[in-house]
Amino acid sequence: MTAHTFHPTILREYDIRGIVGETLFAADAEAIGKAFGTRMRRNGGHVVALGWDGRLSSPEMAEALTRGLIASGCTVRRIGRGPTPMLYFAAKVRDADGGIMVTGSHNPPNHNGFKMVLAGRPFFGADIQSLGAIAFAGDFATGEGKAIEDSVFEEYVSRLAQDYDGERDLRVVWDCGNGATGEVLHALVKRLPGTHTVLFGEIDGRFPNHHPDPTEPHNLVALQDKVLTESAHLGIAFDGDGDRIGVVDGEGRILYGDQILVILAEDLLKTQPGATVIADVKASRVFFDEVRRMGGNPIMGRTGHSLIKTQMAETGAPLAGEMSGHIFFADRYYGFDDALYAAIRLLGIVARWDHMTIGQRRDHLPHMVNTPELRFDCPEERKFAVVAEVRARLEAEGADFSAIDGVRVDTMDGWWLLRASNTQAVLVARCEAASPEGLKRLRRTLADQLAASGVSLGPTH
């Protein structure tokens, strides 16, 4: 079969992503289908589940992927349009040997990409690079495959609703951001008690109302306003492909990923005392202290949904999460990041509280002052070297730090983090302290360390 070369920027650490018509084309999708099908065939499998999100380019990419997979001798179970976790669900319940989701996640409308699983495990890092090597060599498997239309929509909605265990009605506002969750959510709320208001539930790949990324506060303004006007108990938002969640309380205040995870962990630890709960290195010290206080075993993990899923499998953790809003339940569920499922579990908890709101529970957490995630440009060839230089200086100083993912440094004031992005030519930093004065000292220390490596902390973006 004919060899194929991908644009050098699209084969990323956790997925494949590019700009449609510039770095990513339907021909690339077909070659990915051939290469992934080849990996799956050589792994002893041949059945692949395929789904796609609501981007304007996704149907064409899905068709091209289907052609490539069929050419490699695979049976393609096309589950249709929906969120990424519905594809993960399909791969599980249809006993597929692998799965591919066509999605640009929360990237701009003219971007698209692919998330993959193989043999029930995340497909990332060296696995993704192997697709490039197979395509470049034209070393594709061949065979006579076929495509089957195989919707799991109703099964997925039923499975989500199955684990709702609330005891009182709630008023909930949902914001789909015109992303891939809209159709599933409309069907799901019909099965839930209470009053549900859905914002921007029409799937529209142009994202006409706001960008579907709930980690950016300005994307939550419409949700916050509606929560207040409806006197809702809480609001829930999803990213473009439904694997990340955002939450606001009844006063319209944002709960961050680690705060959501504390609430979920508190409930889990009632039935699984001593359980391991994983959070990524960006999480607040409050998370680790609270889980420990509640009798759990908090573990700090590396940032990246594929890495967290792998660590969950290795440790047997029933729950994990990231600051970015990826929440992973292996308790009563399948261990992948599913924002719709996380929402169901969260609603169940809130609807079992007799005399407390989610805002009051948030206020009971120790208050810390922190920076947002600071991202600043650093050349690809320098970003990991800068982190290594900072680490060497910290070691020489005898500093208290973790090097799980970059460096996370503990001080009397709090902590600061510096890590290299796995997907962009940027360094990422965050600082957290018990007081504004402590935060200033942490930022100054971080700035000094960066300056020693010839990098300026500002301007950030």
Domain residues of the chain, as ranges? 16-151, 155-364, 369-452
CA–CA gap between residue 79 and residue 49 (Å, rounded): 7
Is there a shared CATH topology between the 16-151 domain and the 369-452 domain?
A: no
Q: Report residue 288 as tokens.
A: 């680790």
pLDDT averaged per 10 residues in sequence order, the chain, 461 residues = 91 92 98 98 96 98 98 98 98 96 94 96 94 97 97 98 97 98 98 98 97 95 98 98 98 96 98 98 95 98 92 97 96 97 98 95 94 88 95 96 96 96 87 96 95 79 40
- Specify the pTM: 0.95
Q: What is the set of active-site residues?
A: 105
> What pLDDT, on a 0 to 100 scale, did the predictor assign at position 424?
80
Contact yes or no for 367/184 (Cβ under 8 A): no
Q: What is the DSSP letter of 297?
A: E
Architecture category of domain 16-151 in CATH: 3-Layer(aba) Sandwich (3.40)
Contacts of residue 2, defined as CB under 8 A and 6 or more positions apart, other chains included, come to: 138
Q: With left for phi above 0 and alpha for psi between -120 and 50, is residue 106 left, alpha or beta?
A: alpha
pLDDT 10s digits, 344-355: 999 999 999 988
Helix (H), strand (E) at residue 369: strand 369-370
Contact yes or no for 91/112 (Cβ under 8 A): no
pLDDT 10s digits, 237-274: 999 999 999 999 999 999 999 999 999 999 999 999 99
Residue 25's alpha-carbon distances to 39, 65, 279, in angstroms, are 21, 11, 36
Superfamily name and number for 369-452: Alpha-D-phosphohexomutase, C-terminal domain (3.30.310.50)
Q: Report residue 148 as tokens.
A: 């089957």
Contacts of residue 350, defined as CB under 8 A and 6 or more positions apart, other chains included, come to: 166, 170, 233, 234, 357, 358
- Selected from 3.30.420.40, 3.40.120.10, 3.60.9.10, 2.60.40.180, the CATH number assigned to the domain covering 155-364 reads 3.40.120.10
